[in-house]
Structure 1
Amino acid sequence: MLTLDHIALACTDLAASADLLSQMIGAPLQTGGQHPRYGTHNVLLGMGDIYLELIARDPDAAQTGRPTWFGLDHFTGPMRPANWICRTDDLGAERAKMPVDPGPAVPLTRGDLVWDITVPDDGSLPLDGGVPTLIQWAAGTRHPVDRLPDSTCRLQHWTVHHPQAQMLQNTLPLVDHRVQFVAGPARFAMTLQTPRGIVTL
């Protein structure tokens, strides 16, 4: 079984987008860090049982010689929902249940955070994002939601628009009333309850 772990918003300028998002929701984002393997950096927002990650390519990162994850090599335009990441205690078993291969499991570390995460070799989103990225935190790793201050923001809805929405709803081993599947061109939408009221991205 999968559990919603975190939501990723993508942007082209991390600092400017973090300021904009903070103004929209009425809560500050917290320092994240760098992902040297993929040349990205992020800031984070604690939202109860999940967290939000605002991520962008890091202009100061060394060239990696590999595609950037989460489809960021092809990302343009304003900040918007870009990926959803689901947690499991048995990544290998859950990976085998996916309707398409979500990519090999890549081991990553940052400080005392240790995790395995599925990333397609070409950096794309599996099934145009219909299939979530899978993550397994290492035993003993303190989860980011337990490290981040609670912003009091809460996810109301995460909507996966996809041509194969019904198949995804029937196939993915995830039970979460906040996650919805809607038939249509592939994209994501997100609704948050925030100190500034309802915010939709």
Structure 2
Amino acid sequence: MTVKGSDMDCALDHLVVRTGDLIQGRSAMESLLGIAMSARGMHAQMGTHNHLAALDRDSYLEVIAVDPAAIAPKAPRWFDMDNFSGSTKLSNWVIRCDDLDYARSLAPPGIGEERAFVRGDYAWRMLVPHNGQLPFDGCYPAIMSWDSKHPAPALAPQGLSLRGLRITHPQADDLRDALKPFADAMENVRIVQGARAALAAEITTPSGEIWIT
């Protein structure tokens, strides 16, 4: 569901789970959630590949990794993936807005420049930071706009629903202020004070409630 805002429409679009190896990451999410993810997709411009799983509200969960068979891009990859190491983890979230230029003007410095992407029947534009890392240690959302249909309706229903996204950050008040222009996308998002930046999502699955961290 997209809630109508006073200046633009925006909504939480998807959650990003980074992993060092896509096969292992997919297996971890399928075991945790008790679902089967989509077929592999590739992002040639970023040198990454992914699997998706449908959530409610025209959103989805994305497991993404650097594609070892792809040509490395000249610029840093999105979601700070060039500096990622370690286990599979929930690392980022993405919101969609119907006016990307206006959204960029409201976002904090470092949100990035607009880049256009096409994959099969899908086309979108996203603000990608020059260094690959989103503001507030990656806790600020990436901002995008779809120029085609949304992929979520084409994904197999898995009975998954996003109950809430909890964002922990040592500058929680500043992060809240920076997100005020995008209140329409914050319905299921809670920001809390903490020593370290972290994301955690509570997902309803066919077998019960699961936390992804």
Name the SS for the 1:23 alignment partner: helix
1:35 aligns with 43
Amino-acid identity (%) = 34
Worse-matched range after superposition: 79-88 or 19-28: 19-28
Structure 1 residues 170 and 124, CA, compared in 2 at 3 Å: closer, same or farther?
Answer: closer
Write the distance in 1 (CA, Å) between the matches of 2:73 and 2:178: 35
2:176 aligns with 169
User: For residues 1-201 of structure 1, what are the structure 2 equivalents within 5 Å?
Assistant: 1=8, 2-49=10-57, 50-138=59-147, 141-172=148-179, 173-175=182-184, 176-184=186-194, 185-201=196-212
**Residues 102-138 of structure 1, C-alpha deviations (whole Å, 9 max, x = no match):** 1001011001211100111111122212321000001
Write the distance in 2 (CA, Å) between the matches of 1:127 and 1:171: 10
Name the SS for the 2:174 alignment partner: helix
Name the SS for the 2:39 alignment partner: strand
Q: Normalised by the size of structure 2, how large is the TM-score?
A: 0.88
Question: How far off its partner does 1:191 sit?
Answer: 1.3
Q: CA RMSD in A?
A: 1.4
Amino acid at match of 2:35: A
Amino acid at match of 2:33: I
Question: How far off its partner does 1:32 sit?
Answer: 4.0
Amino acid at match of 1:192: I
**Residues 177-199 of structure 1, C-alpha deviations (whole Å, 9 max, x = no match):** 31110112212111111122121
2:3 aligns with none
Amino acid at match of 2:151: P
Name the SS for the 1:174 alignment partner: helix
- In 2, are the aligned partners of 1:98 and 1:131 still within 8 Å (CA)? no
Counting matched residue pairs gives 199
| Runs of 5+ consecutive residues of structure 2 not aligned to the other structure | 1-7
**Residues 27-71 of structure 1, C-alpha deviations (whole Å, 9 max, x = no match):** 100124111111100000001221000000011111222212101
Write the distance in 2 (CA, Å) between the matches of 1:113 and 1:43: 15
Amino acid at match of 2:48: T
- In 2, are the aligned partners of 1:41 and 1:55 still within 8 Å (CA)? yes
Amino acid at match of 1:18: R
Write the distance in 2 (CA, Å) between the matches of 1:102 and 1:171: 11
- In 1, are the aligned partners of 2:92 and 2:139 still within 8 Å (CA)? no
Write the distance in 2 (CA, Å) between the matches of 1:15 and 1:73: 18
| Runs of 5+ consecutive residues of structure 1 not aligned to the other structure | none
